[in-house]
Amino acid sequence: MSLHRAGFFVDLGDDKAVKKDGDHIDLSIDHILADEALRHRLFPVTQKRIFLAHAGVAPLPGPAVEALKYEADRASLGQEGPDFMAEIEAIRRVAARLINAESDEVALLGPTSLGLNLVANGLKWQKDDEVIFYPDDYPANVYPWQALAEQGVRVIPLQPERPGEITPELVRNALTSRTRLVALASCHFLSGFRLDYEGIAEELNRRGVLFCLDAIQSLGATTVDVRHIDFLAADSHKWMLGPLGAGIFYVKRRHFELLKPTLLGSWNVHSPGYIAQPKMVFEDSARRYEPGSLNLLALFGMKASLEMILALGVKQIEARLLDLRSFAEEKLMANKFRVLGFANRRSQKSGIITIAIDNPETAVAQARKLRDAGVDVSLRQSRAGVSCLRLSPHFYNTEAEIEETIKILLS
């Protein structure tokens, strides 16, 4: 396999090739699933394991590995080449395409918590401003908002009937004239419930309320359009199939003056000749939120993975994941497993399939049995104490792998 830096390109030998043609390549999900050799080359983990934990930390696909190798080798002669600024902007453009943003609205920052904290700490809060959040979301999207209480901000917790099922109606009922910001996850990390962010945004935009989205459980797995939201943060190591610590932080351009940069350095503050100035003047793009050197090597890996995802089509990936979920749900429930959110509408579902297990010891034993058999899943627990096995396949996983996983669980 080889990856050309000009864009995604995979060479599988004399008899098979996937060639770059402008911004499009003749590669599809069906093509990958029908050709096991191609699947193994694009996703090396499939040669050794059944990986069903993409909602955790995903293994790197072949194109990202090749990009990292290439850039690491190039960095041995110097990490900052003469074209590094142009290369950074090229990465920014690819990230912007994924979320339908302008490239100057994208800061290349991971982890997700960094972007969320930049929002929480960068807005000028007034006493009794209100922030709506979900206290049983992943902690990275809880603590930044809870901490605002120390500034006199009222933090308003949402309390859905079932874990993660945040609906537009629930949000609407929590809104008041003091609501300044709503901060939610695009998809719940445990239940897999997918947020109707567009429906929520419509009401928030009408009222002039800001909307911050933790999108790490959606980007790369389903379409997210930032025209509807104000701020977004997501690391690439889950559904985007990128390296840890490379990510996307989006700020709508009209909010640049509203959201003050709280991390300061020579990269985001004008420092001609690397000389600190008496007055701070920020970059006029989202670079104003990048205080110092970027994780450039990891960002090259992220770019390669995103180019592959964009070439395959996010809508096609989403459809594949929902089909895999339906397949898994049917098989699991036929064998008396309890699946969270099985009755939800298709538009509310994601690639996260969570099996509830009342006995914690049973859950641990099942997770260990799967791991020993070469299957990776995630072991999680709800606040109510229910243990869960979370399966999160990506588009390249097969129905046969799902069946094999269930077979192991039943053994």
Give pLDDT, residue 25.
52
Q: CATH homologous superfamily for 314-410?
A: Aspartate Aminotransferase, domain 1 (3.90.1150.10)
pLDDT tens digits in sequence order for the chain, 411 residues long: 333 443 444 444 333 434 444 444 568 999 999 999 999 999 999 999 999 999 999 999 999 999 999 999 999 999 988 899 999 999 999 999 999 999 999 999 999 999 999 999 999 999 999 999 999 999 999 999 999 999 999 999 999 999 999 999 999 999 999 999 999 999 999 999 999 999 999 999 999 999 999 999 999 999 999 998 999 999 999 999 999 999 999 999 999 999 999 999 999 999 999 999 999 999 999 999 999 999 999 999 999 999 999 999 999 999 999 999 999 999 999 999 999 999 999 999 999 999 999 999 999 999 999 999 999 999 999 998 899 999 999 999 999 999 999 999 999
For residue 20, give every residue at least 6 positions away whose Cβ sits within 8 Å of its Cβ, in sequence order, or none. Answer: 4, 6, 7, 8, 9
For residue 199, give every residue at least 6 positions away whose Cβ sits within 8 Å of its Cβ, in sequence order, or none. Answer: 168
Give pLDDT, residue 11.
46
Query: Could you write out the DSSP letters of every residue in 336-395?
Result: T-EETTTTS-GGG--S-EEEEES-HHHHHHHHHHHHHTTEE-EEEE-TTS-EEEEEB--T
User: Looking at this protein, which amino acid is placed at residue 47?
Assistant: Q
Distance CA 186, CA 214 (A): 6
Decide: residue 383, CB within 10 A, 0-12 exposed, 13-18 middle, 19+ buried: exposed
User: Looking at this protein, which amino acid is placed at residue 146?
Assistant: Q
Determine the 3-state secondary structure of 135 from DSSP. Answer: coil
Beta strands in 202-337 (DSSP E): 210-214, 231-235, 247-251
Tokens of 208: 């002039």
Give pLDDT, residue 27.
82
Give pLDDT, residue 81.
86
* pTM, full prediction: 0.94
CB < 8 Å & 24+ apart, contacts of 155-160: 155/130, 155/131, 156/130, 156/131, 156/132, 157/133, 158/132, 158/133, 158/134, 160/134
**Domains of the chain: which residue ranges?**
84-310, 314-410
Q: Which of 64, 26, 59, 34 is nearest to 398 (CA)?
A: 34
Distance CA 221, CA 45 (A): 19
Tokens of 363: 């859950």
Q: Which helix (H) or strand (E) holds 132?
A: strand 130-133
Give pLDDT, residue 16.
40
CB 134 within 8 A of CB 166: yes
Give pLDDT, residue 186.
98
- In terms of CATH architecture, what is 84-310? 3-Layer(aba) Sandwich (3.40)
Determine the 3-state secondary structure of 31 from DSSP. Answer: helix
List Cα–Cα distances, 154 to 150, 159, 203, 373, 380, in angstroms. Answer: 9, 16, 20, 48, 30
For residue 305, give every residue at least 6 positions away whose Cβ sits within 8 Å of its Cβ, in sequence order, or none. Answer: 60, 61, 63, 64, 220, 236, 240, 241, 242
